[in-house]
């Protein structure tokens, strides 16, 4: 056989091998073991609200380019808590190892404030009761791509309640224009987003030994004289916003109603109220529904609120330490008896204080390490 023939046959064999490789989709294995999708779920300390495992409602939301490129671009390590996110709760997420100068995150396709921490980038996602259950997208941006996680938020039934008011208290809920004015002022305070985190470690209780509930419940307010008649809370009756915050001027024929945005802690008048964590006093005011009110800015979009106080013992701008007295329990505003309404707000949205108190160690113990995406 001639040299020309041997060369031709060798070339033909190489061409055939290449064709077979293409047809068989030969795999080229990379030695880069870092490109893995790694997610861990951190245990939480304490109980969270009970859940209805059948998550319903909501629409999966994702940035337009995230799903198509997830496998190729996502090699991040993300620690998540709670194990089963639920309406009314909080999702804590730590993207380990990320250290951008200005972190950028998103939730449901919209920007979400997030912050540098000692071990990466920390995002705290509020899951308020007035937002639907469903599966949604959380992302962390980085120079080499985007870390993406699909998060399923379970549904929860918060219940509905009738509240009967005497004439003086009922007159308060009918002052729609004044209530709406107050709501705008409170929303502006709670929308504050400072870069500095003032607190660290576990949060305490604002009233010693007090345990309460009622977060997320839809409350409908009637005159006391209506208590003798049968009242049906049909599905057509809807709350018109969050207590103290999301009020709009309603038609006079509407039933005054709000979703309860905190927990009610029973206590006698004059009982001390203390700051559960360090922060700056963002507001001290007197409002139609919330009465004597104190709001503390704990930094990085986290606020705590104290309604119906008898007396406030701090002033706007004061720096407070964990455990410091900030007021006394009262029954001002729309309160049928002495108690403390205690609320937690994350990026301007309310969450169940019980879920907030159950934050994992990776969120509780992170030091403030830099700027946010705000």
pLDDT band at 38 (very low <50, low <70, confident <90, very high): low
Question: Is the pLDDT at 95 greater than 50, yes or no?
Answer: yes
Total structural domains in the chain? 2
Rounded to an integer, what distance in angstroms lies between the CA atom of residue 8 and that of residue 84?
A: 65
Is residue 26 situated within a structural domain? no
Do 147 and 204 belong together in one domain?
no
pLDDT for the residue 248: 64
Q: What is the pLDDT of residues 303-335, one digit of tens each?
A: 999 999 999 999 999 999 999 999 999 999 999
Beta strand 339-346 with 349-351: parallel, antiparallel or unpaired?
antiparallel
pLDDT digits (tens, 9 = 90+) for 132-156: 999 999 999 988 889 999 999 999 9
CA distances from 370 to 117, 124, 194, 253, 374 (A): 7, 16, 12, 51, 12
The answer to whether residue 12 sits within a structural domain is no
Is residue 275 situated within a structural domain?
A: yes
Domain boundary among 120, 153, 186: 153
* Shared domain check, 198 and 137: no
- Using CA atoms, how far residue 342 sits from 157, 251, 311, 339, in Å, is 20, 29, 15, 9
Q: Which domain, by its residues, includes 69? A: 38-153
Q: What is the pLDDT of residues 97-126, one digit of tens each?
A: 888 889 999 999 999 999 999 889 999 999
Residue 366 — pLDDT band, cuts 50, 70, 90? low
Specify the pLDDT at position 205: 96
Q: Supply the pTM of this predicted model.
A: 0.79
Does an H or E element contain 12, and which?
helix 3-23
Residue that terminates a domain, selected from 100, 124, 153: 153
Task: Name the more confident of 20 and 220.
Answer: 220
Are 90 and 226 within one domain?
A: no
How far is Cα 115 from Cα 120, in angstroms, rounded to an integer?
9
**What is the arithmetic mean of pLDDT over 259-286?**
97
Any domain includes 245: yes
* 147 & 245 share domain: no
Question: For position 365, what pLDDT does the model report?
Answer: 79
- Is residue 151 within 8 Å of 82, Cβ to Cβ? no
CA angle (252, 255, 260) in 5-degree steps: 130
Phi, then psi, of 288 in degrees rounded to 5: -55, -55
Give the DSSP H/E element, type plus range, for residue 265: strand 263-266
Mean pLDDT (whole number) for 196-224: 92
Assign residue 177 the CATH number of its domain: 2.70.70.10
Average pLDDT rounded to a whole number, residues 343-358: 96
* Residue 199 belongs to some domain of the structure: yes
My answer on whether 125 and 274 are in the same domain is: no
**Which pLDDT belongs to residue 145?**
85
Residue 263 sits in the same domain as residue 235: yes
Share of the chain above pLDDT 90, in %: 59
Q: What is the mean pLDDT of residues 282-305?
A: 97
Residue 244: its pLDDT value, please? 84
Residue that wins the pLDDT comparison between 370 and 162: 162
| Same domain, residue pair 65 and 185 | no
In whole angstroms, how far apart are CA 174 and each of 56, 169, 180, 181, 253?
Answer: 35, 9, 11, 13, 10
> CA torsion, points 264, 268, 291, 204, in degrees to nearest 10?
-50
Alpha-carbon gap, residue 68 to 59, rounded angstroms: 18
**Weakest-pLDDT range from 11-25, 217-231, 253-267, 343-357:** 11-25
Examine residue 90 and state whether it is found in any structural domain, yes or no.
Answer: yes
**Over the stretch 166-208, which tens digit does the pLDDT of each residue have?**
999 999 998 989 999 999 999 999 999 999 999 999 999 999 9
Q: Which residues of 186-217 are buried (b: 16+ CB within 10 A; e: fewer)?
A: bbebbebbbeebbbeeebebbbeebebebbbb
CATH code (residue 112): 2.60.40.1590
């Amino acid at each position: 056989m001639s040299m020309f023939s041997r060369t031709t046959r060798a070339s033909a064999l190489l061409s055939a091998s290449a064709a077979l490789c293409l047809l068989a989709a030969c795999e080229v294995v990379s030695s880069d073991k870092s490109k893995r999708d790694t997610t861990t779920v951190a245990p939480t300390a304490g109980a969270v609200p009970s859940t209805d495992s059948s998550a319903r409602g909501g629409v999966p939301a994702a940035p337009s380019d995230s799903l198509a490129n997830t496998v190729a671009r996502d090699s991040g390590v993300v620690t998540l808590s709670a194990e089963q996110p639920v309406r009314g709760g909080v999702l804590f997420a730590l993207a380990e190892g990320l250290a951008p100068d200005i972190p950028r995150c998103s939730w449901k396709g919209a920007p979400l404030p997030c912050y540098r921490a000692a071990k990466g980038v920390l995002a705290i996602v509020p899951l308020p009761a007035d937002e639907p259950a469903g599966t949604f997208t959380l992302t962390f941006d980085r120079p080499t791509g985007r870390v993406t996680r699909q998060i399923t938020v379970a549904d929860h039934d918060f219940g509905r309640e009738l509240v009967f008011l005497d004439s003086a208290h009922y007159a308060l809920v009918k002052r729609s224009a004044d209530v709406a004015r107050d709501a705008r002022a409170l929303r502006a305070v709670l929308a504050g987003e400072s870069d500095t985190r003032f607190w660290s470690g576990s949060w305490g209780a604002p009233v010693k030994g007090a345990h309460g509930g009622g977060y997320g419940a839809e409350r409908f307010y009637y005159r006391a004289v209506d208590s003798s008649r049968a009242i049906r809370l049909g599905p057509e009756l809807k709350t018109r916003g969050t207590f103290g915050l999301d009020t709009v001027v309603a038609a006079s024929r509407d039933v005054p109603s709000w979703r309860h945005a905190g927990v009610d802690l029973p206590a006698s008048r004059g009982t001390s109220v203390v700051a559960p964590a360090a922060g700056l006093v963002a507001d001290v005011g007197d409002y139609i529904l919330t009465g004597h009110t104190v709001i503390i800015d704990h930094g990085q979009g986290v606020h705590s609120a104290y309604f119906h106080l008898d007396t406030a013992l701090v002033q706007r701008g004061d720096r407070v330490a964990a455990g410091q007295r900030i007021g006394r329990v009262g029954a001002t505003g729309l309160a049928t008896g002495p108690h403390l309404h205690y609320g937690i707000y994350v990026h301007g949205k309310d969450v169940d204080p019980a879920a907030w108190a159950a934050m994992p160690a990776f969120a509780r113990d992170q030091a403030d390490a830099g700027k946010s995406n705000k």
